[in-house]
């Protein structure tokens, strides 16, 4: 069990650029979740996958955001045309069925 891995740990980009983050869950976990966390707040749910199927999306996930988990293993979260308000920590978590989630250390996104 190597834990949930996220890459990159930090991303700085200019407004309007596209960014993509990767999450590698714990290998036997079938569920994968994406959250966004801003300063002084708890994580806010964005979306989740069961295997390769994206089963739920939050209203926070605007049409500029897209997430994939093509083979039911790693996942990517892409943000197109980034805005200042997208600056946040993006957390990935995984779980086996309904067991508690294990979190990665996150990707911190800063928009210049």
55 is a contact residue toward another protein (CB under 8 A): yes
DSSP-derived secondary structure for 30-41: -EEEEEEE-TTS
Cβ distance to another protein smaller for residue 48 or 65 = 48
Give the count of residues interacting with another protein (CB under 8 A).
24
Of 11-19, 68-76, 79-87, 100-108, the segment contacting another protein by CB under 8 A is: 100-108
We find the least distance from the C-beta atom of residue 89 to another protein, in angstroms, to be 9
**Binds another protein (CB under 8 A): choice among 17, 18, 41, 110:** 41
Q: DSSP 3-state assignment of 92? A: strand
The number of angstroms, rounded, from the C-alpha of 20 to the middle of its chain's C-alpha atoms is 10
Cβ distance to another protein smaller for residue 12 or 16 = 12
* Core vs surface per residue 50-81: b (16+ CB within 10 A) or e: eeeebeeeeeebeeebbbebeeeebbebebee
We find the least distance from the C-beta atom of residue 42 to another protein, in angstroms, to be 3
Give the footprint of another protein on this chain (CB under 8 A): 4, 31, 33, 40-45, 48, 55-56, 91, 93, 95, 98, 100-106, 108
């Amino acid at each position: 069990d190597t834990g949930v891995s996220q890459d990159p740990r930090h991303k700085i980009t200019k407004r309007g650029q596209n960014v993509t983050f990767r999450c590698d869950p714990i290998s036997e976990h079938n569920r994968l979740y994406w959250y966004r966390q801003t300063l002084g707040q708890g994580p806010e749910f964005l979306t989740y996958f069961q295997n390769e199927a994206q089963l739920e999306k939050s209203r926070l996930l605007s049409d500029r955001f897209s997430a994939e988990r093509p083979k039911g293993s790693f996942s990517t979260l892409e943000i197109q045309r980034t805005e200042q308000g997208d600056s946040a920590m993006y957390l990935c978590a995984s779980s086996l069925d309904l067991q508690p989630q294990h979190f990665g250390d996150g990707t911190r996104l800063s928009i210049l």
